[in-house]
Amino acid sequence: MSDVYAQPTAAAQPASTGELAQYTTLCLGGPAGRVVTATNADELVSQVREAGSEILLIAGGSNVVIGDAGFPGTVVLVRSRGLRVLAEDEQTVTIRVEAGEPWDDLVAATVRNGWSGLECLSGIPGSTGATPIQNVGAYGQEVAETIIAVQVYDRIAGTVGQVETTACGFAYRSSIFKCNERWVVLSVDFRLARSPLSGPVRYAELARALGVEVGDRVPLAQARSTVLRLRAGKGMVLDAGDPDTRSVGSFFTNPILDAAAYEHLRQRAVDLGEPPSWPGAGDTVKVSAAWLIDKAGFGKGYSGPGGTAISTKHTLALTNPTGAASTDALLTLAREIRDGVHARFGVSLHPEPVLINCTL
C-alpha cells in the first residue's frame, strides 16, 4: 500500500493549520513555523538552502515523534517521486529511486518487474529516502544488502554528491545519516537480482508461514503477499480503519547485549524460560524487545495515559488509537515501559523513531 502523504502545500507558503500531526502516522505533533513542499531533488536542495539551520524534513512521517510544541523552523515535505533504471545485465538491474517515493510502492514495482531483493520489506510505511537513514529491515532482509549508493546534499559543504555503500556506516537500524543534520538524502541506488524467486528465506516465522524451510526460495509475489499478511496481523501495515496502525511501528529496537549482559538477563528471567534471541555481530546477542515488554507486564492492549495504548496486535507498537492523544502522553507510556523493563530485567530499551523537540 502507499505511504501516508499530506496534501501538497504551495512552496514557500506558510502552513494554514500549522499542526504537524497531519503529516505523521502517529497523528501527533504541534505547530510548524512554516511548511513548504519539494517535488524533486532540485527543489529539495533549494528549499533546504533557503531554510537555513532550523529545518525538519518529513516524507511519510512514519518514523518520527514530534513534540506537542511542534517545530519552530521550516518543515520541508519531501514529495519527489519516481524510479529509473541506471544499468542492467542478465543477472542484475540497478535503479535510482527518488527520496519521496513511497517505499511500498517501490517494493511492489520490483516484485512486478521480477527484481529480487526487497520483497521481504513489503508493507513498511515511509519513503525510500528514509530507508538508508534507518537501515530499514524486516523478515531477514535489510536495505544495506541492496543499496549501492545514496545521493545527498551536504549542508556543510553546500554541495550535491554521492555516498557509496561502504561509507554509509550501516549497522542495526542505523547509518551515518541517522540523527545527523549534515546530510539530506535526495535519491537512493539499489542493485537487485533479476529473478522470479525471492532471496533465501532467513526468518523462521516467515518460513513457517510460507510452508518452506529456512534457506528456501519462493516466488516473489508469494513472499510479498505472505509478508503483508504477517505485518497486517501485527498492525504493521497502515490502514485508516485500524486504530492499531496509528503508530510508528516498532517503538523500541531489539537490545543488543554482550555475553555477560545476556547471561545476566537469563538469570533474571529464569522463571520465564529462555529469552528469545538471535546471534549478533561478534559475540553479541540480539534479544526480543517485544518479549521483554510483555514479560515485564506490558501486554497487548495495555492502556497508557491520555488515550494512548500498546497495540492490541503487537507489544512493540505504541498507539494513538483515537487520534486525540498528545505526544507527552505517548512518551509517558514509553517511559513507563522502558523503566519497567529495566527494573524487571536490567536491560535498557532505546527508541527506534526520531524524536523531534521532545525527549524520552
Report which residue type is found at 316: L
Name the residue ranges covered by the structural domains of the chain: 20-78, 83-233, 243-356
pLDDT number for residue 5? 30
Report which residue type is found at 187: S
pLDDT in tens, 140-199: 999 999 999 999 999 999 999 999 999 999 998 899 999 888 999 999 999 999 999 999
Catalytic residue among 155, 173, 224, 246: 173
Task: Determine the Cα angle at 331 with ends 329 and 337, to 5°.
Answer: 110
pLDDT in tens, 87-114: 999 999 999 999 999 999 999 999 999 9
Residue whose cell numbers read 545485465: 89
The CATH number of the domain covering residues in 83-233: 3.30.465.10
Catalytic residue among 122, 250, 277, 326: 250
- CA–CA gap between residue 166 and residue 180 (Å, rounded): 18
**250 catalytic per annotation:** yes
Coil, strand or helix at 346 = coil
Task: Determine the Cα angle at 329 with ends 324 and 335, to 5°.
Answer: 150
Architecture of the structural domain at 20-78:
2-Layer Sandwich (3.30)
Report which residue type is found at 169: G
pLDDT number for residue 282? 86
Coil, strand or helix at 150 = strand
- CA–CA gap between residue 329 and residue 263 (Å, rounded): 34
List the pLDDT tens digit at each of the 360 positions of the chain: 223 333 333 333 333 346 999 999 999 999 999 999 999 999 999 999 998 888 999 999 999 999 999 999 999 999 999 999 999 999 999 999 999 999 999 999 999 999 999 999 999 999 999 999 999 999 999 999 999 999 999 999 999 999 999 999 999 889 999 988 899 999 999 999 999 999 999 999 999 999 999 999 999 999 999 999 999 999 999 888 999 999 999 999 999 999 999 999 999 999 999 999 988 888 899 999 999 999 999 999 999 999 999 999 999 999 999 999 999 999 999 999 999 999 999 999 999 999 999 999
pLDDT number for residue 18? 62
**268 catalytic per annotation:** no
- CA–CA gap between residue 89 and residue 69 (Å, rounded): 51
Q: How many angstroms separate the Cα of 256 from the Cα of each of 174, 235, 269?
A: 13, 25, 17
pTM score: 0.89
CATH topology of domain 243-356: 3.90.78
Per-position b or e across 29-55, b if 16+ CB within 10 A of its CB: bbbbbbbbbbbbbebbbbbbeebeeeb
Nearest to 44 by CA among 99, 102, 84, 7: 99
70 CB contacts (<8 Å, ≥6 apart)? 18, 19, 20, 29, 30, 31, 32, 357
